Amino acid sequence: MNYSETLIDHFRNPRNAGMMRDPDGVGEDTFEGCGDLARFYLRVVDGRVADVRFQTYGCGPTIAASSAGTELASGRSVSDLLTLSERDVAAAVDGLPAERLHAAEVVAGALRAAARDYVARRNGGRGMEASRHV
Amino acid sequence: MSGRVYLDHNASTQVHPEVVAAMLPYFGERFGNPSSVHGFGREAREGVEVAREQIAHFLRMSTDEVVFTSGGTESDNLAIKGVAAARGAGHIITSQIEHHAVLRTCQFLEGQGFAVTYLPVDGDGLVNPDDIRRALRPDTVLITVMHANSEVGTIQPVDAIGAIARERGIPFHVDGVQTFGKVPIDLDGFGIDLLSFSSHKVYGPKGVAGLYIRKGTKMVSVQHGGEHERRRRAGTENVPGIVGFGKAVAVRAREMEAEAVRLTALRNRFWDGISARVPDVRLNGHPTRRLPGTLNLCFRHVESESIVLGLDLKGVAVSAGSACTSGNVEPSYVLVAMGVPLDWAMGSVRATLGRENTDADIDYVLEVLPPLVERIRSLSPAAVS
């Protein structure tokens, strides 16, 4: 499998890995086919992502895309994050092989879920948002 | 340690330098077609027949009992379809953990009207010979069970299965691709009628293999054409490949025994080192009845592919137990048949050692693998929360 240098770099040196205490939003996504799971924690200040952390179980590309996903989310407005696409995530690791596109799907899905969770909490709701790819 | 450590010898091996040297003339001046009557043909024929003798000597069989094929897959196809077609209909017994070359050939025959029993294995990957006995039917035409599984290395009790087959007069095929040249194979003692064995797993070239067919075994050819291989396998012989195969076997005869002892010790040191340094790791396959160089591990809470990629980046080649296709990870069917729980099976990694591996290689892997597993686990929500 040929992976980009950017992907390999994110896999070797993941950015923003770990969990966050008292986040403003949490979201996760699982990919049923392979059991890959990505979870993102957001700290939001003035409607923008001020800090972001990830925890991921999955193959190398999913771990790398999670790391790249945190860089994409950093500083971005929550409303922007709500519409983050798989293509944005795939581009952030300089592309993914066709057989590994699920990495971008699970990461984009989890980041959108975290943004939705932030919005729901602000509107009085509580609890982690989750979505699922089947 | 040359900076790269190859631990995937069950997949393929580096051709032995003596084998390369033996093959070279057959790409050059000895290029003839062994079926030709002239001198060029006779030179090529001689190369093929010397190889046949080397292999017959190694397996203690007669030279007219070996057919050269293009690979282990073809040998399995020829054995199973050849016996089945000679009978026309009936029942076949095999196991759930056979190589796809056997499983899919059996499935094909099911489509042709044959009945097939796929026997389960126990937690160590062993077929129970009593299950074979219970599965027998009056119309059973073939028993086909592998000698050792490529993923976990468990060595089957082929002698006990062969005894049952012989008692009932049923042909017994053994896929010996993973054991040939690594552990002794006693064709008569094990009661084997057909044995598939391959070249590139034992430091020979790819694209060549053999099928042992015991004299008197009723079968038909499945590839039709010329009169090659005593009309059992049509097609011009892969002369350089066959010459290399013969040489590789001659080298195995010399090296096999000592290497088996050395690789078993090396493999055990690998396991002892990993199990002492990494929590939540399990060994798959039989603890002792196992191929000398085979070590199949499951790391809980990590996905095999991330380990394979992480090790690859450190110059270490191993293989993943689960295969990912378009986001669908299939846990290994072998581990599933052995009852390995899914959350473990997803993290299976296979390391298979060979003649070039040294103590320094294992030291290096023991240095890089534990922190890699720890790092990947530290990213995983399953392991953290």
Contacts B327 to A, Cβ<8 Å: 31, 33-34, 36, 99-102, 105, 133
CATH number for the domain spanning A44: value is 3.90.1010.10
What residues in chain B have per-residue pLDDT under 70? 1-2, 322-328, 383-385
Q: Determine the structural domain holding residue A42 and report its residue range.
A: 5-133
CA triple A43-A49-A55, angle to 5 deg: 60
Predicted local distance difference test score (pLDDT) of residue A31: 86
B309 at A interface, C-beta within 8 A:
yes
Q: Is A47 left (phi over 0), alpha (psi -120 to 50) or beta?
A: left
Known catalytic residue at B106:
no
Contact A55 B305 (CB under 8 A): no
A128 at B interface, C-beta within 8 A:
no
Provide the domain count of chain A.
1
Question: Could you give the domains of chain B?
Answer: 5-12+256-384 (3.90.1150.10), 17-251 (3.40.640.10)
Of the candidates B211, B233, B212, the one whose C-alpha atom is nearest the C-alpha of residue B222 is: B233
Predicted local distance difference test score (pLDDT) of residue B385: 40
Going by their DSSP bridges, the two strands B294-299 and B316-317 should be labelled as unpaired
Predicted local distance difference test score (pLDDT) of residue B384: 47
User: Which of B379, B380, B384, B385 to mutate to test binding with chain A, by most A CBs within 10 Å of its CB?
Assistant: B379
pTM above 0.90, yes or no: yes
pLDDT of A37 > 80? The answer is yes
Confidence of residue A129 (pLDDT cuts 50, 70, 90): low
Contacts A54 to B, Cβ<8 Å: 379
Predicted local distance difference test score (pLDDT) of residue B326: 60
Residue B233 CA to residue B125 CA, distance in Å, equals: 33
User: Which residue from B306, B326, B381 is facing A59, i.e. has the nearest CB?
Assistant: B306
Q: What's the token pair of residue A100?
A: 């590994």
Residue A82 CA to residue A68 CA, distance in Å, equals: 17
pLDDT of A134 > 60? The answer is no
Element (H, E) at B340: none
Predicted local distance difference test score (pLDDT) of residue B1: 44
Q: Give the chain B residue whose CA is nearest to the CA of A58.
A: B303
Predicted local distance difference test score (pLDDT) of residue B3: 76
Residue B87 CA to residue B93 CA, distance in Å, equals: 15
Contact call for residues B212 and B55 (beta carbons, < 8 A): no
The active-site residue, picked from B324, B342, B360, B379, is B324
Going by their DSSP bridges, the two strands B66-69 and B209-213 should be labelled as antiparallel
- Radius of gyration for chain A, computed over Cα atoms and rounded to the nearest angstrom: 14
Distance of CA B314 to the CA centre of its chain: 27
Reported ipTM: the value is: 0.85
CA distance A6 to chain B (A): 14
Rounded percentage of chain A residues whose pLDDT exceeds 70 = 93
Contact A100 B380 (CB under 8 A): no
CA distance A88 to chain B (A): 18
